[in-house]
Amino acid sequence: MFDALTGRRLRRTFDTLTAAKLWRQDAQVALRRGTMRVASAPTPAQAAHDLVAGMQDGSVLDHGGRPYKPSTIRSYEASLRLHVVPLLGARQLGELRRRDLQALVDRLRGKGLSASTVTNTLDPLRVICRRALRDDLIAVDPTDGLELPAIRGRRDRIETPEQAHRLLIALPPEQRALWSVALFAGLRRGELQALRWRDIDLDAGVIRVERGWDQYAGPIEVKTDSGRRAVPVAFAVRRELREHKLRTGRDTDDLVFGRTAADAFFPSTIAARARKAWLAVGVEPLTLHEARHCAISYFIAAGLDWKQISTWAGHGDVRQTWNRYGHLVPGGEQEAAARLSRYLEGPTVAQTVAQATEEANGPAITGPFEYRYRDSNPGFRRERAAS
């Protein structure tokens, strides 16, 4: 069949003449509607190579128009190389159908991969298809409408402030500063790794988050534009930071928690040391991510402004903070119940609308079939009884 729009001949092989004629009829309709293109799109393998190369040189940007983080590039490259290219790499993008990608999803689930891993594996393929759709290489995005496994969210651990202080006391003195910043200021792991002494104003009680950290690339831009922020720090955090600075004797441009100005700490080493100290005294270990979760929950429990909390957390939208951290520390329900009881059992209880109406109009119902009501005109009252 000849495509007059592109000047190219469309070719395809079929087992029977009837199948070929049926395809030809469908193809002619699809071409007129613009839902079929000449099979000139690259293969997923070629598109994967071009995508990763563009991410690395900065020519391919994310949804927000920013370069991709090194960790994201590594994750995308690994997903494409390990899962996508071996199964779909030899086909052309224009030939991919939703059923092909659903088969990929089912296969990944069959291997026992978690729901989040399956979803993350499809992310680079979504980018490839989105770019191909933009460039008119495909007419329909085959990644739309897939049945993906549900990601079951889990409630992150939140310790009370008292337990957080006990966790800090159980640590060796040289480890307390890092965990106090994590527990009470809520910095992300990469932000802790990249923190320099020049970013901390101990007199004002402020930490300025200026950058993040990649384990291979070193200092990188913050996660988002909202990630660059100033975070207030409590007195307990300032005290630990002062002692840490005196203990290490580092300069202004040095990393706060790294060995040198060019080498941040290894999170796995920090976590292992803290875990050993906590288990030695019978305390359940905490992760750096859980420590950040605790810090933001303390901001909320302290009654601070939600917009400010969202800014200090590095979120771009206060709704993100509300949805993610809308619960308080353990014990908040008991405190709320006590406050509610004090209100309801107080010497004077505010009248409800129903009480005020009943006092003004009399009982709303005087019998099984009788009611009375007052019109807006004072003194106007009707009574009606069922016969």
- The domain limits of the chain are 39-134, 161-325, 353-384
Residue 206 pLDDT grade (very low, low, confident, very high; cuts 50, 70, 90): very high
Count CB neighbours of 203 within 10 A. Answer: 7
Residue 382 pLDDT grade (very low, low, confident, very high; cuts 50, 70, 90): very low
Instruction: Check whether 213 has a pLDDT greater than 80.
Output: yes
The model's pLDDT over 278-309, given as tens digits with 9 standing for 90+, comes to: 999 999 999 999 999 999 999 988 888 989 99
Average pLDDT, the chain: 82
Retrieve residue 357's tokens.
Answer: 């109406």
Residue 209 φ then ψ, to 5°:
-90, 115
Which pLDDT score is estimated for 381?
Answer: 44
Highest mean pLDDT among 4-18, 255-269, 277-291, 328-342: 277-291
The model's pLDDT over 1-12, given as tens digits with 9 standing for 90+, comes to: 444 444 455 566
Angle at 199 between CA 198 and CA 204, to 5 degrees: 100
Which pLDDT score is estimated for 31?
Answer: 57
The model's pLDDT over 140-192, given as tens digits with 9 standing for 90+, comes to: 899 999 999 987 765 578 899 999 999 999 999 999 999 999 999 999 999 99
DSSP string of 7-48?
Answer: TEE-----SSHHHHHHHHHHHHHHHHHT----S-SPPHHHHH
Residue 379 CA, distance from chain mean position:
61
User: Which CA distances in Å does 189 have to 139, 164, 241, 288?
Assistant: 42, 18, 17, 7
CA distance 221 to 209: 10
SS3 call for 156: coil
CA distance 156 to 324: 10
E-strand stretches of 228-323 = 229-232
Which pLDDT score is estimated for 1?
Answer: 46
CA distance 170 to 50: 51
The model's pLDDT over 216-229, given as tens digits with 9 standing for 90+, comes to: 888 898 877 888 99
Which pLDDT score is estimated for 205?
Answer: 94
Among 203, 234, 230, residue whose Cα is nearest residue 302: 234
Residue 36 pLDDT grade (very low, low, confident, very high; cuts 50, 70, 90): low
Instruction: Check whether 265 has a pLDDT greater than 70.
Output: yes
Strands, sheet with 200-201, edge to edge from the N-terminal-most edge strand: 200-201, 206-209, 229-232
What is the DSSP code (8-state) at residue 61? B
CA distance 304 to 225: 23
Instruction: Check whether 19 has a pLDDT greater than 50.
Output: yes
**382 - beta bridge partners?**
373
Count CB neighbours of 151 within 10 A. Answer: 12
Which pLDDT score is estimated for 107?
Answer: 94
* CB within 8 Å of 23: residues ≥ 6 apart: 12, 14
Residue 320 pLDDT grade (very low, low, confident, very high; cuts 50, 70, 90): confident
Residue 67 φ then ψ, to 5°:
-65, 150
* CB within 8 Å of 362: residues ≥ 6 apart: 372
CATH annotation of 161-325: 1.10.443.10
Rg (CA), the chain: 31
CA distance 135 to 34: 14
CA distance 357 to 364: 8
Which pLDDT score is estimated for 196?
Answer: 95
Which pLDDT score is estimated for 267?
Answer: 79
* CB within 8 Å of 2: residues ≥ 6 apart: 8, 9, 10
Q: What is the pTM of this model?
A: 0.70
The model's pLDDT over 62-96, given as tens digits with 9 standing for 90+, comes to: 888 889 999 999 999 999 999 999 989 888 888 88
Sign of CA dihedral 249, 253, 257, 258: negative
Domains 39-134 and 161-325 share a fold: no
Instruction: Check whether 359 has a pLDDT greater than 60.
Output: no
Instruction: Check whether 362 has a pLDDT greater than 90.
Output: no
Instruction: Check whether 340 has a pLDDT greater than 50.
Output: yes
Least confident among 26-35, 118-127, 321-330, 368-377: 368-377
Residue 40 pLDDT grade (very low, low, confident, very high; cuts 50, 70, 90): low
Residue 366 pLDDT grade (very low, low, confident, very high; cuts 50, 70, 90): very low
Beta strand 381-384 with 212-214 is unpaired
Retrieve residue 345's tokens.
Answer: 């059992």
CA distance 80 to 65: 22
What homologous superfamily is domain 39-134 in, according to CATH?
Answer: Tyrosine recombinase, N-terminal domain (1.10.150.130)
